[in-house]
A = this chain, B = another copy of it.
Amino acid sequence: VDESGSSGDQPDITARLIKTRRSRLSSNRRVTIADVARLAKVSTASVSRALTDPAAVTEDTRLAVMEAVARTGYRPNGLARALRKQATRSVLALVADLTNPFYPAIILGMEQQAQERDYTVLMGHTGADPRREASYMELLRDQRADGVLLMTGCLPAGCPLSGPDRPPMVFVSEYLPGSDIPKVRIDNAEAAYGAVGYLLELGHRRIAHISGPITRMISPERQAGYMRALMAAGIEVAPELMVNGDFRYESGMAACAKLLSLAQPPTAIFCANDEMAAGAVKAIRSRGLRVPDDVSVVGFDDIQIAEMCDPPLTTVRQPRARMGQIAMDMLIRLLEGMGDVEVEVTLEAELIIRGSTAPPKSAV
C-alpha cells in the first residue's frame, strides 16, 4: 500500500460542508416494545409472543398487536434480543487477504447457505495482523457474532486452541493440521498429482514446479503431489526444477525466468496458483518463447484471470462455492447443537484444460 496519505493535506478536495447533527438520541426516541404494548392495550410479553410465536396468542391480540406495530413502525431491537437470547444469528467470515481473488467465490457460497437458514454473514479482513485478528475475536466473545469461518489458515490471535472458551469455528481451504476444529478443503496433493499427471500424459518429461511460500500449508501439499506424480512415472525429481514463489504474479515471473535460464529448461511448468502461472507466461513470452508451443503452463485455483489470460490457463478448479456452502452448513449445525458435525470434509478438485498446455515439441 503506497498511499499513506494522512488526511491532513488535501488540496484537491471539494468541500462543501454540512453540519453534523448532534446525536441520534436527541430528536425522536426510538419506539420500543412498550409503546406497542400500550397502544395495543396488552402487556409487552404478549407483544413479544405475538411477534415471535404467533400460535401462543389469540387471534384478537395478534391483530391488535399487528396494528399497533404497523402504526408505530416498531421493529424489535436485535441488540437487546441478542443480549437476552445469547445469539445473534450472524457469523463472521474471516479472510487474511482481501485482494486475493480466490476467496470471493467461497464467500458467495457461504452467503447463499446463510441466507437460506436466516443467518447474516459479516466479513472481516485480518491482513494476517494479530491485532486485527484479536479485534475480530472480540466480536465473538462479545456475542456479536455466534461463530466464525476461518479462511486464514491459522488460529486467530487471542483464541484458545481448545476448551469451552474457543468459539464455534470451521476452517475453509486452509486449516490447522493437528486440531479437532472442523475443516472443509480439497486434497491439494491429489489435485496436484492429477495436474502433473496430465502433463505427463501429454508427453512431458521435464516438468518444473513453482511452489507457494512455505509458510502456507498448501504449498508443501501441492509440492508433494507434484513429486509423487513424477516418481510414479519413474522420473527423478530434479531439485533445480523446483523453485519457490510467494503466490504473486511477480514471483511467478522471477521463478520462471530462473527456470528458463537452466542448461536444460523445462518443457512444462506446474504452478501452485494462477497468479504465478500468469507471471510465468509473461516471463516465457518476454524471452521470445511461446505458450504452449515452447513451454506448457498449468495453474491452480481457476480464478478469473485464468480465463482472461492469453492463452487461457489450464488449471485446477476448486469447488469454491460448494466449499463455502458446506462450511456454513457445518458451522450452523455446530451453533444450533443439532446432531453431529464432520471433523473433516474433503471435496474433489477438477482439472480444467485450456490453451496453455500442449504436448512438448519433441513429441510432435
A157 located at the interface, meaning its Cβ lies under 8 Å from any Cβ of chain B in the complex: no
- Contact stretch, chosen from A228-236, A262-270, A343-351: A343-351
Chain B residues near A143: list those with CB within 8 A.
77-79
A123 to chain B, nearest CB (A): 4
Residue among B12, B19, B122, B346 making CB contact with A122, cutoff 8 Å:
B122
Which B residues lie within 8 Å of A346 (CB)?
Answer: 12-14
A92, chain B: closest CB distance, angstroms:
8
Q: Are A345 and B144 in contact (CB under 8 A)?
A: no
Which residues of A (311-353) have their CB < 8 Å from a CB of B? Answer: 319-322, 325-326, 329, 333-334, 337-348
CA A347 to CA B158, docked complex, whole Å: 39
A101→B105 CA distance, assembly (Å): 12
Residue of B with least CB distance to A75: B141
A53 at the interface (CB under 8 A from B): no
Chain A residues 99 to 126 lying within 8 A of chain B, measured CB to CB, are 99, 101, 104-105, 107-109, 111-113, 115, 120-125
Q: Known contacts being A16-B343, A101-B99, is A83 close to B83, with CB within 8 Å? A: yes
Mask for A17-30, Cβ within 8 A of B = 1, else 0?
11111111101100
Whether A198 is near chain B, meaning CB under 8 Å from some CB there, is no
**In the complex the two chains form, what is the Cα distance from A1 to B121 in whole Å?**
18
A32 at interface by CB-CB < 8 Å: no
Residues of A in contact (CB 8 Å), total 98
B125 and A121 form a contact (CB under 8 A): yes
A182 to B16, CA, bound (A): 10
Contact partner of A341 (CB less than 8 A), chosen from B17, B123, B338, is: B17
Contact A124 B125 (CB under 8 A): no
List the B side residues contacting A141 at CB < 8 Å: 75, 77-78
Q: Mark A168-208, 1 if CB is under 8 A from B, else 0.
A: 10000000000010100000000000000000000000000
A3 / chain B contacts, CB cutoff of 8 Å? 109, 319-322
Instruction: Please give me the residue from chain B that is nearest to A142 by CB atom.
Output: B78
**Among the listed B80, B81, B122, which residue makes an inter-chain contact with A124, where contact means beta carbons less than 8 Å apart?**
B122
Known: A5-B322, A104-B99, A120-B135. A347 touches B310 (CB 8 A): no
A14→B344 contact, CB < 8 A: yes
CB distance from A150 to the nearest CB of B (A): 15
A39 contacts the other chain (CB 8 A)? no
B75 touches A21 (CB 8 A): no
- Among B20, B108, B139, B285, point to the contact of A310 (Cβ < 8 A): B285
Chain B residue contacts of A322, Cβ below 8 A: 3, 5
Q: A27-B164, A123-B123 are in contact. List 16 more A-B contacts (CB 8 A).
A: A1-B321, A7-B325, A12-B348, A14-B346, A17-B341, A17-B343, A18-B340, A18-B343, A20-B338, A75-B141, A78-B143, A83-B83, A111-B132, A275-B308, A278-B308, A285-B310
Pairs A-B, 4 closest by C-beta atoms: A78-B142, A123-B123, A17-B340, A3-B321
List 24 contacting pairs A-B, 8 Å CB cutoff, sorted by A.
A1-B105, A1-B108, A5-B322, A10-B326, A12-B346, A14-B345, A15-B344, A18-B182, A19-B340, A20-B334, A20-B337, A22-B337, A75-B138, A78-B143, A79-B82, A81-B142, A88-B144, A98-B107, A108-B125, A111-B125, A111-B132, A115-B131, A144-B144, A282-B308
